[in-house]
Amino acid sequence: MPLAMNVYGTDRRLLKALDLKSYAEISERIGGLLKPELPHGFVGVREAFGKLGAMTHVPPRKVKDAPVQEVVLRGDDVDLEQLPALFTWPKDGGSFFNLGLTHTKDPESGVRNLGLYRLQRHDKRTIGMHWQIHKDSRNHYQVAARRGERLPVAIAFGCPPAVTYASTAPLPGDIDEYLFAGFVQGKRIEMVDCKTVPLQVPAQAEVVLEGWLEPGEMLPEGPYGDHTGFYTPQEPFPALTIDCVTMRKRPLLQSIVVGRPPTEDGPLGRATERFFLPLLKIIVPDIVDYHLPESGGFHNCAIVSIDKKYPKHAQKVMHAIWGAHMMSLTKLIVVVDSDCDVHDLHEVSWRALGNTDYARDLTVVEGPVDHLDHASYQQFWGGKAGIDATRKWPEEGTRATAAGPTWSSPTRTRPPWSTAAGRSTGCDLGLRRPPAAAGTHKGVPAPGDDRALGLRPALRLHRRPHRDVRVGREHPLGPAAPGHRRHGRPAHLRDGRQPDHRPRDRRP
C-alpha cells in the first residue's frame, strides 16, 4: 500500500489543503462568531461552538455509501503488516502509525472525541493506543474501565485535511471536533457508520481500523523518538485488537515524521496558535497577541502581550493561562507590553533579558506538565516560570530618578511603521511598511517574497536608497557607490554559492 508523507509539511501546503489564504482567515471568522454578545470564560467558548452546531453548512452529514468501505476485511483476514508503518529512530521500540485519527465516545455522555495519537503496531491485529494522561480519549477509556465496559474505537487514515487538523486541535472534551472541521472546511463532513463498532468515521477516508478495547488490556509501548527530541521511555498503554479493516479499493495511507522541532507538524501547530487566539482571548481577555515558539514544541513556552492596566497585571495573566485548558501545561510564560511584536524573538528577548529584576519579575509555580516532559523530576508535574517583561510601574518598585524610572526612555528606535508618528516621518524618509499579507505568522509569503528566505524587514529597509538611514544589518558588500543601490544578495551568495575567501591572485 503506498504511503503519503509530508503532506502538511509547509504552511503553504497546509493552507492550500484547508483552502485558506492565511491562518488569520479562520481567526477572523472565529472572532466574528464570538462577537458581540458571548460571555467570557469557558462558557463563552462553549456557546460559540453551540452557534457552530446551528449553522447549516457546519455539522457533519451522514451518508450510507462510502468509498472507505469499498473493501471490508474481518477477523483473521485483518493483517496490519500489510499497512506501511514507520520505524523512524534507531532506538524506537517498533513500528508506528503516526497519522491515524482515533475516534471514541464518552460511555456516559455519548459525546464523541477525535484525537491524533500515535499507534504502535504490536502484531498483525494489535495496536498500542498512546493517548496521554491529559487527552480526551484516554478519559473515555478511564470512564469505560470504571464501569467495567469495553470501549469501541475506530481509527481513520487519509481523512479530509480539516478533519486531520481538527484531530490535533486542543478543543475542550465536550466540543465536537467535527463541528470545528466543518467550520474550517466551510462545508459539512460526510460521515458513515462503522461496520462493527457504534461510531462514525469520514466517508472519504482511505483506511479505517475498528475494534473494542477491553478494560485493563495493556502492553508496553515505546520507546519512541518523540516531539521533545528525546526518546520517551517504554510505558504500558492500552492494546486494541482490530476486528475489522475497511478501505478503498486502491487505498493510500498517510503518515508523518515525529521528532525534535522543526518537523513536519510545525504548520499544524502554527495553525492552532492563530486559530485559537480569539478563543484564548475569550478565556483571558487581557491578551492582545501570543506566540507559541515551535522550538518549545508549541506547548512549553508562551509569549503573551498585554495592555497593562494595573500593577502585577502580568502575573494575573500568567495564572489565567496556567488555568486555561491545555495551556495549563505551559512551562514558561513571558509577558510583554502590547507594543512588542510577540513573534519577533529578538525584541522579546531584549525585553525579557533587560527589563527585568528577577527577584521581582520572576514567578515560579508548580503544576501539571506535558506527559512527555523529560526534564521534570516527577512525571506529569513540575516547576514553571513566568517572566514579567512589561514596563514596571512605580507601585511595582521602579528605581526613580528626577527624570523618571531609570529605564523608561529606550534609545532603540522601533520600525517607523509601528507608531503613528513614525508612520508619517517614515513616509518622509521613504520607508514603507512591507506588504501586510505576507508576514510569516500572518500568512504565507507570496512567491518571490524574500521573507520566504527569512530576510527581516530591517534588511529590506536597508536596501532602499536612503543610505543615511542606518537600520538593521550592513549589506555584506558594504555601502553602495553614490547613485547606486544594492540589489538583493551579492552575486557570490546567490544560487547557494559559497564566498571564496582566497586572495584574488590565488583564485582559479
Ligand X SMILES: Cc1cc2nc3c(=O)[nH]c(=O)nc-3n(C[C@H](O)[C@H](O)[C@H](O)COP(=O)(O)O)c2cc1C
Active-site residues, by number, are 226
Find the shortest distance in angstroms from Cβ 226 to ligand X. Answer: 8
8 A C-beta contact, residue 297 and residue 381: no
- Considering only residues 137, 185, 200, 254, which one is a binding residue for ligand X as defined by CB under 6 A? 137
Instruction: Name the segment binding ligand X (CB under 6 A); options: 35-43, 115-123, 187-195, 428-436.
Output: 115-123
Rounded CA separation 306/104 (Å):
38
Look at residues 419, 390, 393 and name the one whose alpha carbon lies nearest to residue 404.
Answer: 393
- Cβ closer to ligand X: 176 or 341? 176
Rounded CA separation 265/226 (Å):
12
- Considering only residues 112, 125, 130, 384, which one is a binding residue for ligand X as defined by CB under 6 A? 130
- Cβ closer to ligand X: 100 or 416? 100
Find the shortest distance in angstroms from Cβ 238 to ligand X. Answer: 12
- Cβ closer to ligand X: 235 or 450? 235
- Considering only residues 135, 140, 270, 331, which one is a binding residue for ligand X as defined by CB under 6 A? 135
Cell of 41: 470564560
58 binds ligand X (CB under 6 A): no
Look at residues 83, 80, 78 and name the one whose alpha carbon lies nearest to residue 1.
Answer: 83
- Cβ closer to ligand X: 176 or 361? 176
Classify residue 77 by its DSSP letter: G
In the block, residue with C-alpha cell 500500500: 1
Binding mask 266-305 for ligand X (x = CB under 6 A): --x-------------------------------------
96 binds ligand X (CB under 6 A): no
Rounded CA separation 465/460 (Å):
11
Closest residue (Cβ) to ligand X? 115
In the range 321-350, which residues lie near ligand X by CB under 6 A?
none
Find the shortest distance in angstroms from Cβ 273 to ligand X. Answer: 13
337, β-bridge pairs: 306
What are the Cα distances from residue 56, in Å, to 64, 182, 183?
Answer: 20, 10, 10
8 A C-beta contact, residue 22 and residue 443: yes
131 binds ligand X (CB under 6 A): yes
Query: In sequence order, what are the residues at sequence separation of 6 or more whose Cβ sits closer than 8 angstroms to the Cβ of residue 37?
Result: none
- Cβ closer to ligand X: 137 or 185? 137
- Cβ closer to ligand X: 116 or 245? 116
- Considering only residues 107, 115, 202, 251, which one is a binding residue for ligand X as defined by CB under 6 A? 115
Q: Residue 345 corresponds to which amino acid?
A: L
In the range 239-268, which residues lie near ligand X by CB under 6 A?
256, 258, 265, 268
Compute how many residues bind ligand X; rule: CB under 6 A: 19
Find the shortest distance in angstroms from Cβ 268 to ligand X. Answer: 5
- Cβ closer to ligand X: 101 or 340? 101
Find the shortest distance in angstroms from Cβ 60 to ligand X. Answer: 16
In the range 5-44, which residues lie near ligand X by CB under 6 A?
none
- The alpha helices in 133-263, defined as continuous H runs, are 136-146, 161-168, 177-185
Count of CB atoms situated within 10 Å of the CB of 188: 18
- Cβ closer to ligand X: 23 or 117? 117
What are the Cα distances from residue 71, in Å, to 54, 113, 155, 201, 211?
Answer: 35, 25, 16, 15, 17
Cell of 137: 480519549
Find the shortest distance in angstroms from Cβ 169 to ligand X. Answer: 6
Find the shortest distance in angstroms from Cβ 443 to ligand X. Answer: 21
- Cβ closer to ligand X: 97 or 322? 97
Look at residues 52, 49, 48 and name the one whose alpha carbon lies nearest to residue 34.
Answer: 48
Rounded CA separation 55/204 (Å):
22
Look at residues 339, 356, 338, 345 and name the one whose alpha carbon lies nearest to residue 287.
Answer: 338
Rounded CA separation 251/286 (Å):
48
Find the shortest distance in angstroms from Cβ 326 to ligand X. Answer: 7
In the range 163-202, which residues lie near ligand X by CB under 6 A?
168-170
What are the Cα distances from residue 239, in Å, to 3, 212, 257?
Answer: 24, 10, 22
8 A C-beta contact, residue 210 and residue 242: yes
Find the shortest distance in angstroms from Cβ 259 to ligand X. Answer: 10
Instruction: Name the segment binding ligand X (CB under 6 A); options: 128-136, 241-249, 385-393, 466-474.
Output: 128-136
Rounded CA separation 500/507 (Å):
8
117 binds ligand X (CB under 6 A): yes
- DSSP H helix total and E strand total for the chain: 13, 24
86 binds ligand X (CB under 6 A): no
Rounded CA separation 3/477 (Å):
47
Q: Which residues bind ligand X (CB under 6 A)?
A: 98, 113, 115-118, 130-132, 135-137, 168-170, 256, 258, 265, 268
